[in-house]
Amino acid sequence: MLAIKLKRIGKKGQATYRIVVAEKRSKMTGKFTDDLGWWNPHQNKCVVSTEKAAEWIKKGAQPTATVHNLLVKKGVVKTPKVVLHKKPAKKEKK
């Protein structure tokens, strides 16, 4: 199964990411099928090929949660953002 996920590049402390289409179970630094763009979280900049991303989603590739939120921000996906960090449920005292 194909996934649209992030591939970490850059040196220690200055991570940037490539947005790639790869096999779901492949390693983060492994081979990939297609390169869709890049994301720099430090400068909050993102460049994505919207046409390629939409084409891969139509073919069945599923984006990870972070990539899904980036695609929502760019307007490729029309669904709401995915919550990445849920707050733990509070325990009730008896």
55: CATH: 3.30.1320.10
Other Cβ atoms within 10 Å of 6 Cβ, number: 20
Tell me the residue range of the domain where 12 lies: 2-74
**Confidence (pTM):** 0.84
Residue 61 placed within a domain: yes
User: How much is the pLDDT for 29?
Assistant: 83
Ranges in the chain, pLDDT < 70: 94
In this structure, is residue 9 part of a structural domain? yes
Query: How high is the pLDDT of residue 87?
Result: 78
Distances (CA, A) of 73 to 22, 38, 68, 82: 22, 14, 9, 12
90 part of a folded domain: no
The pLDDT assigned to 2 comes to 95
Q: Is residue 64 part of a domain?
A: yes
Q: What integer pLDDT is reported at residue 86 of this predicted model?
A: 78
**Residue 82 domain-assigned (yes or no):** no
| Domain total of the chain | 1
